[in-house]
Amino acid sequence: MALYLVFLVAILIIAAMVYAPIRRRRHRQALAAQPFPRQWRLVLRERWLLYRYLPVDVRFALQRQLQIMMANTEFYGCNGLEVTETMRLLTLAQAALLYRNISQDQLASFPTVLLYPDAFVREGELTDELGLVSRQRHIMLGESWQQGRVILSWSDIEQDLRRLDGHNLVIHEYAHQIDGYDGSMNGAPLLPNETQYRRWTRVMTAAFEDVNHQVQWGESPIDPYASTNPAEFFAVVSEYFFTQPDLLQRLYPEVYTLLAGFYRQQPLEWLGEVQRLEQSTIH
């Protein structure tokens, strides 16, 4: 009898493990199929510059993903910030851009968001080359943790909503999350096969080394923070891919092509002509 009960419990646990992803998938499919709220659409059109340039199919896919993320993402306001639905909507809309090629089956949950009113202070220990340990205070705009947590500054998000200049805090931190879905934030996200990993490594390593060389000479045309490590390089070039694709494609065409395949997006087609016209006006 005891053996039977153990066997029955094991069967029930296995059944629950098998059914949980199926139930999650069905729930998310139902969320995505709901009509997109008109008020949300108005907010995105009025407050988010990039949204106005999205093609219809990209906008539709983003809206479906956004409805899933709005229902499955926890937000916590920090330092007295009261998080509104509009804040949640505008934050997750930018993040949703990155999820077009991410299977819902591999996402048991979305990262929790800690939202600060502006830049926040992070304290930590720093060990120098002599082994001396000191405490440091760093002013941070955002962080992304492997454990599924994203920390963001709302004032910087608001700035990003109004500009297309290669900088986007939400895209940067969520790129780290996507990078970490294979268990490690190392600049190489989960890819289908070894051939793609080899190509990814070759293209990204060459570009990363070139950025480091440019930074050493003080001539980097993209954010020098990209030279920190491969993980930060991936996050930074993801920012440029979505908000200044013409510059990324001109500097590192293979990186642009790689990201276009990974994210299944072509922002150069949305923004290339707009940004070329802006540059010609400036000059």
Torsion sign (Cα): 31, 34, 39, 42: positive
Q: Higher model confidence: residue 154 or residue 28?
A: 154
How far is residue 283's CA from residue 114's CA, in Å, rounded to a whole number?
Answer: 41
- CATH fold of the domain at 186-283: Collagenase (Catalytic Domain) (3.40.390)
Q: Higher model confidence: residue 29 or residue 223?
A: 223
User: What is the per-residue pLDDT for 61?
Assistant: 94
What mean pLDDT is reported for the chain? 83
Confidence of residue 225 (pLDDT cuts 50, 70, 90): very high
How far is residue 108's CA from residue 73's CA, in Å, rounded to a whole number?
Answer: 12
Q: Higher model confidence: residue 61 or residue 24?
A: 61
User: What is the per-residue pLDDT for 166?
Assistant: 94
Could you write out the DSSP letters of every residue in the chain?
-HHHHHHHHHHHHHHHHHHHHHHHHHHHHHHHHSPPPHHHHHHHHHH-TGGGG--HHHHHHHHHHHHHHHHH--EEE-TT----HHHHHHHHHHHHGGGTTS-GGG-S-PPEEEEESS-EEEEEEEE-TTS-EEEEEEEESEEEETTTEEEEEHHHHHHHHT--SS--HHHHHHHHHHHGGGS--SS----SSHHHHHHHHHHHHHHHHHHHHHHHTT--SS-GGGGS-HHHHHHHHHHHHHH-HHHHHHH-HHHHHHHHHHHT--HHHHHHHHHHHHHHHH-
Q: Structural domain boundaries of the chain?
A: 186-283
Q: Are 124 and 143 in contact (CB under 8 A)?
A: no
| Residue 179 confidence (pLDDT) above 50 | yes
How far is residue 213's CA from residue 73's CA, in Å, rounded to a whole number?
Answer: 39
**Residues sharing a CB contact under 8 Å with residue 71, sequence separation 6 or more, in sequence order:** 31
User: What is the per-residue pLDDT for 91?
Assistant: 98
Percent of the chain with pLDDT over 70: 72
How far is residue 179's CA from residue 177's CA, in Å, rounded to a whole number?
Answer: 5
Q: Are 157 and 91 in contact (CB under 8 A)?
A: yes
User: What is the per-residue pLDDT for 133?
Assistant: 39
User: What is the per-residue pLDDT for 32?
Assistant: 66
* Nearest in space to 47 (alpha carbons), one of 154, 162, 157, 156: 162
How far is residue 142's CA from residue 239's CA, in Å, rounded to a whole number?
Answer: 14
| Residue 176 confidence (pLDDT) above 80 | yes
| Residue 125 confidence (pLDDT) above 90 | no
Confidence of residue 193 (pLDDT cuts 50, 70, 90): very high
The pLDDT of 13-39, averaged and rounded, is 66
User: What is the per-residue pLDDT for 146?
Assistant: 65
Q: Higher model confidence: residue 263 or residue 125?
A: 263
Residue type, 180: G
Q: Which strand ranges, in their side-by-side order, compose the sheet holding 75-77?
A: 75-77, 112-116, 149-153, 142-145
pLDDT digits (tens, 9 = 90+) for 134-175: 344 345 556 666 668 899 999 999 999 999 999 999 999 999
Least confident of 4-13, 54-63, 82-91: 4-13
Least confident of 13-17, 138-142, 180-184, 190-194: 13-17
Percent of the chain with pLDDT over 90: 63
* Nearest in space to 32 (alpha carbons), one of 84, 85, 96: 96
